[in-house]
Structure 1
Amino acid sequence: MLLLDAISQAIFDKKGANIITIDVRGISTMTDFYVIAEGNVERHVKAIHNSVCDAMEKNGRRPLFIEGVRESDWVVIDFGDVVIHLLIPEMRERYALENLWKDGKIVDVNIVVDNKIPSQATSI
């Protein structure tokens, strides 16, 4: 779960909102986990994308596939076992990705707030 913590921390550090992690092992053949989060506007989503990719590179991970950076209203970052969806609020509401994997299990992740206090994030 350390990978999920690092991804969530990178999103949180760029002020990403409504972070949710869903365990879809046994439900999806595409990946093991989905992480879904919001940025306020396209530029914010792009900054969160950069933060996640930088954090994962420090952990020795490079994305297999990235889609949507040019428009940045919905960016998908595929690390194989984890797929990250970063969306502006309007896109998140329109597509309601959480509903696609409603049979998945919400995963608790640890996020450090102000470099002092661990916080658990579970869902929106």
Structure 2
Amino acid sequence: MSPDALKDLALTALETLKAQDVTVLDVRNKASFADYMIVASGTSDRHLKAMADQVHIDAKKAGSPPLSTEGQDSRNWILVDLGDVIVHLMKPETRALYELEKLWSIGPNRSHEST
């Protein structure tokens, strides 16, 4: 599955479960391990887990199961590694603390798209 199709699949899964403040970061010129990062907020640890599960289920159905999922026991941050797309699901306070969008916007290519 292409990186763009994988990104769209993840975005659709997150939209289905009402992810909040979804941001897509294009990291093709900054990272060798992924093309996109998606950062989204959830309202509770249950919400984070439900979103991660939905991304996992949808990716697996499409023939691109996640390489790994980290933080399933966490109450603040779950990462779903789809290979070319990394999905970060966080509670708002954790997201504010780590500021991934700010971190990845540093450098020559500052473009990112919000949805």
TM-score (norm 1): 0.82
What is the Cα deviation at residue 47 of structure 1? Answer: 0.5
Equivalenced residue count is 109
Structure 1 distance, partners of 2:111, 2:13, is 22
| Residues 36/53 of structure 1: CA separation in 2 closer, same or farther (3 Å cut) | same
- For the pair 1:95 / 2:101, whether they are aligned, the reply is no
The equivalent position to 2:111 in structure 1, one of 105, 108, 111, is 105
Aligned-residue Cα RMSD (Å) equals 1.3
Structure 1 distance, partners of 2:104, 2:74, is 25
Q: What is the correspondence of 1:18-97 to structure 2 with a 5 Å cutoff? A: 18-97=21-100
Q: Percent of counterpart pairs with the same letter?
A: 33
Hey, which bits of structure 1, 4+ residues long, moved more than 2 A?
none
Structure 2 stretches of 5 or more lacking a match? none
Structure 1 distance, partners of 2:63, 2:8, is 15
Larger % of helix: which? 2
TM-score (norm 2): 0.88
Structure 1 distance, partners of 2:67, 2:40, is 19
